[in-house]
Amino acid sequence: MKADWARLADPRKVSKEEGDRLAVTLPALAWMAYSIHGDEMSGADASLAMAYHLAASIDPEVINLLANLVVIIDPLMNPDGRDRFLAMQAQNRTVQPSVDDQSLLHSGMWPWGRMNHYLFDMNRDWIFATQPETRGRLRAVNEWNPHYFMESHEMGPQDTFLFMPGREAINPNQPDNVRKWELEFAKDQAATFDARGWRYYTGEWSDDWYPGYSSSWSALRGAVANLYEQAGIGTDAVRRPEGTLESYREAVHKQLVSSMANLTFLAKNRQAVLNDFLNEKRKCVGPQASIPARTFAIPRSPNGARNHRFLDVLSLQGFEIYEAGGAFTAPAKDRLGLQTNEMKFPAGTWLVPTRQPLARLLNAMLEFDPHTIPQFLTDERRDLLRFGRTRIYDITGWSLPMLFDVQTFEIPAGVPPDAQAKAVSFPVTIASPVTNIEASVALVIDGADDASVAAAGRLMERGVWVRVGDKPFQFDNHDFARGSVVITRKDNANFTADLTATVSNVCADLNLTAVGVRSGYGPGDLPDIGGEHFVLLRPPHIAILGREPIEPYSYGSAWHLIDHVLGLRASYLDTHNLQGTDLRRYNVLVIPDGESAEGLKDRMEALKAWATAGGTLVAIGSSAATLARETNGIGGTRQLSDILGKMDDYRQAVVREWEALQTKPDPEKVWSFSPPAEVVYPWLIGESDDKAKDEELKRKDSWRAIFMPAGALLAGRVDDRSWLTAGCGEYVPVIYSGKTVLSAPPTVQAPVRLGVFSPAPAKKLAKPASSSGAKSKDKKKDDKKKDETKTPPGWTIAPPGYEMRLRMSGLLWPEAADRLANAAYVTRESVGSGQLILFASDPTFRAAALGTSRIFANAIICGPGMGANEPIKP
């Protein structure tokens, strides 16, 4: 039967008649999944009652139901979270009844029971599959191809019961059959609740924009989806405002009644549901396919770890992937939205066409820039202005090529025939861990690969001295990227174990190759092995602050990266005990995001003293904002809102960085014996906002602040002279949320700033050039002047001839764009012998922000050697 369901899900595998016949004869497959949030317990308990009822009942209704359906029950999606919450309940158990939902017995404690072991919300992980629970589930769902998919939750204890359908914003890829049947199921479920006098609702806060929830993800696979949200009754009962008690038993009962009602309704409508499922698949693939054909093209990059992560998640989702057998040319759009008519792609480019059975999911995961319906923008803006709150339940931008930072192009057609595409399957083979073993000078691991940073960390843990190249270099005719790890035999003269074997083991674990080199001579201007460009790293001793007021998600994703991905030892500290903690044991301290990191204020002197003595202090989001303060802060980085009247200095830093990147001095002017008649300044002069009164500036900024993004993808331009950005391309997509806007003065480095400069479209440039005749020179000058005065050089400055591209995907209001343009995403500055590294938004977001995770990994592993100054131990 599994094979038949698979054929129903792929119309290429059956004739039309056979497909139609299967839709009539096959039972429908219902997937009932409970309690992905461990402290939302009633669903898991209801699932056991349902399993018993379905297995034991001799009721004709149940027998009829089972004749029409196969029911798969995933009774408890999050055992770790449930265990944690049950332990909290045991610890807070009282003899006297406790029906106050604010009491610890009901509420639990940091980090609560919602998330899994590493504190990930698994109900956001379906598109990224970073957690083992999700990975197992994806394989199982792909094997069974469900037609109905229910996820059960709990919400606030004073709430009632919610089910599907959701309200706008709805992901534009959601199939029509899903929407149609969600409404039918809702009517039936409402009648079931009405019959018992139970209160319920649909929509309201429940949107369907982000595709990584259980129900949204399964709907994009074609299953009719449902979501239950029952009032959360931790245990016993909860007192309601009208004085009644809602008991835990009632919570379980509502989950059970809902489950049975939905299954009965599905059994009754089996044929129609299956027929619509098949017709939806026929729109995606096969001779009747009607969805627009397009292909995502991914040229191979030297970042093996990144390629692997990306292709792994695509293949785990069940997408069909091809590889170009030859070079080919096609029109293409890049991730910044820039079009090229004849883009050349090399052989080996990976190709993912959308016309395949999982077309909708594939589109939702990979497409660059989905838009909501216009009405949603109106509603959202009204809510922001009227109530200061957003209607968006989760993030608005998640496109995997951006979040994973994998260079990807969209071709507006199927796979080009020239590409000679052939299907590929994963995983791909592992390369040899060490080549050219006999080489006497050094072993080098290419820094283009994200795993090279983990290798550096793991080697140092084993007592190996490593260096990192801060520029690209070439040894023995072999090119190595910035950030490459160099293990010289000379540095490791005292290493007692077998150096080559140690490097080989570490590389084998990380799927890396270390290349032996016989010479450290860099041809031409390229760095040589003994110069300043190969910096000796200091073994990092990492500590990370946790518990309140730290945000569990931010803590969890940093913990996961350090412990699970990088595979390094670290200490996990209690922020409240910071006062009594001997920080001298560590040379790297990470403060994850924390809304109320205000609590750090009275620890500031200790943190500053520690950093000054040589520590690398890394802070994220709100915690970064707390450190970026004029009074009681550390360093020179500031929050934008604090420097509104003094923007000139900060703007100057932006201009200097850009000039340093672009400068092309005119030798004639440089070697002139006379001073110039006029100095050309690289910034535009005009009516500056700064000259306005302080109150006006504050008024404007608080207006812009209303519209800050809830998780949009922005383009960050990369300073390739910073060791922090090793492994990044010219720009890095960053996921941005929260209120922190960092401003770096010229004394502070900003390795990543928001906004990428690209040449302005020809039309705009052509305007002054097309002005006629000999007077054009003066005219140009006049035009320029006019343009200057009309373009207020606010924070959104762009160099002449360029325009800024900032928003990549997701909702970014123009007001917020104006506030964020040119702001720093990462800052680095020296503090005494140590350094301060601030991230404006979470770099390790959901273990899926791979571009910015690399910068974070560089910070914590290379930081003690690259940016801090540790003494030689005598």
Burial label for 392, CB within 10 Å (0-12, 13-18, 19+), is buried
| Identity of the residue, 198 or 393, whose beta carbon is nearer to Zn ion in the bound complex | 393
Residue number, 37 or 117, with CB nearest to Zn ion: 37
Q: How far is the CB of 784 from Zn ion (least distance, A)?
A: 57
Q: How far apart are CA 265 and CA 259, in angstroms?
A: 10
Q: What amino acid occupies position 362?
A: L
- Give the binding range for Zn ion (CB under 5 A) out of 29-37, 213-221, 464-472, 657-665: 29-37
The HSE-up count of residue 125 (CA atoms within 13 Å, CB side) is 27
DSSP output for 248-269: HHHHHHHHHHHHHHHHHHHHHT
Position among 137, 153, 306, 391 found at the interface with Zn ion (CB under 5 A): 153
Among residues 366, 357, 381, the alpha carbon closest in space to that of 169 is found at 381
CB of 737 to Zn ion, least distance (A): 20
**At closest approach, how far in Å is the CB of 43 from Zn ion?**
9
Count of chain residues binding Zn ion (CB under 5 A)? 3
Closest approach of Cβ 38 to Zn ion, in Å?
A: 9
Q: How far is the CB of 153 from Zn ion (least distance, A)?
A: 3
**Does residue 169 have a cis peptide bond before it, meaning omega lies within 30 degrees of 0?**
yes
Distance of alpha carbon 410 from the chain centroid: 20
State in angstroms the smallest separation of the CB of 830 from Zn ion.
45
Residues recorded for the chain: 874
Residues 38-67 that bind Zn ion (CB under 5 A): 40
Shortest spacing between CB 255 and Zn ion, in angstroms: 12
CB nearer Zn ion, residue 40 or residue 367: 40
DSSP state of 367: -
Residue whose CB is less far from Zn ion, 113 or 433: 113
Asked whether 450 and 303 are in contact (CB, 8 A), the reply is: yes
- H or E element that contains 552: helix 552-560
Which part of the chain contacts Zn ion (CB under 5 A), choosing from 35-43, 371-379, 703-711, 763-771?
Answer: 35-43
Q: Is residue 571 classed as helix, strand or coil in its secondary structure?
A: strand
Nearer residue to Zn ion within complex by CB, 213 or 813: 213
CB of 275 to Zn ion, least distance (A): 32
227 or 442: whose CB is closer to Zn ion?
227
- Where does this chain touch Zn ion (CB under 5 A) — which range of 145-153, 241-249, 300-308, 796-804? 145-153
Rounded to the nearest whole angstrom, what is the least distance from the CB of residue 168 to Zn ion in the complex? 21
Share of the chain residues as helix, strand and coil, in percent rounded to the nearest 5: 40, 20, 40
Q: Given the complex with Zn ion, which of 234 and 794 has the nearer CB atom? A: 234
Work out how close the CB of 236 gets to Zn ion at its nearest, in angstroms, rounded to a whole number.
20
Instruction: Tell me how crowded residue 213 is: count the other CB atoms within 10 A of its CB.
Output: 27
> Which window, 151-159, 317-325, 611-619, 850-858, contacts Zn ion (CB under 5 A)?
151-159
Binding range to Zn ion, per CB under 5 A, among 51-59, 148-156, 241-249, 603-611: 148-156
CB of 232 to Zn ion, least distance (A): 9
CA nearest to 540, candidates 273, 834, 156, 861: 861
Considering beta carbons, is residue 40 or 446 the nearer one to Zn ion?
A: 40
**DSSP string computed for 425-468:** -SSPPPPPSEESTT-SSEEEE-TTSTHHHHHHHHHHHTT---EE
Residues 233-292 that bind Zn ion (CB under 5 A): none
- Is the Cβ of residue 254 or residue 471 nearer to Zn ion in the bound state? 254
Distances (CA, A) of 204 to 168, 170, 207, 219, 336: 9, 13, 8, 19, 34
Q: Which stretch binds Zn ion (CB under 5 A): 153-161, 365-373, 405-413, 438-446?
A: 153-161
- Quote the least distance from Cβ 544 to Zn ion, whole Å: 26
Site string for Zn ion, 362-381 (x = CB under 5 A): --------------------
User: Between 153 and 281, whose beta carbon lies closer to Zn ion?
Assistant: 153
Q: How far apart are CA 212 and CA 124, in angstroms?
A: 5
Only segment of 146-154, 218-226, 559-567, 860-868 that touches Zn ion (CB under 5 A): 146-154
Least Å distance, CB 152 to Zn ion, is 8
Measured between alpha carbons, how far is 721 from 828 in angstroms, rounded to an integer? 12
Q: Residue 182 in contact with residue 164, Cβ under 8 Å?
A: yes
Burial 84-102 (b: 16+ CB within 10 A, else e): bbbebbeebeeeeebbebe
Any idea which residue has 């200490």 for tokens?
Answer: 571
Q: Which is nearer to Zn ion, 41 or 273 (CB)?
A: 41
Binding of Zn ion by 124 (CB under 5 A): no
Return the residues of window 671-690 that contact Zn ion according to CB under 5 A: none
Dist CA 658 CA 640 (whole Å): 20
Task: Give the Cα separation of 526 and 813 in Å (integer).
Answer: 45
Nearest CB to Zn ion, comparing residues 214 and 317: 214
Please report whether residue 37 would count as binding Zn ion according to CB under 5 A: yes
Which range binds Zn ion by CB under 5 A, 34-42, 100-108, 358-366, 596-604?
A: 34-42
Nearer to Zn ion, 35 or 641 (CB): 35
B/e letters for 289-312, b = 16+ CB within 10 Å, e = fewer, are beeeebbbbbbeeebbbbbbbbbe
Tell me the per-residue interface mask from 568 to 607 with Zn ion, x by CB under 5 A, - otherwise.
----------------------------------------
Mark out the alpha helices in 582-621 (DSSP H runs): 604-612
Within the chain, how many helices (H) and strands (E) appear?
A: 27, 39
Question: In the complex, what is the shortest distance from the CB of residue 844 to Zn ion, in angstroms, rounded to a whole number?
Answer: 22
- Taking residue 820's Cβ as centre, other Cβ atoms within 10 Å add up to 26
Residue nearest to Zn ion (CB): 153
Stretch that binds Zn ion, among 30-38, 267-275, 494-502, 632-640 (CB under 5 A): 30-38
Binding residues (CB under 5 A) for Zn ion: these are 37, 40, 153
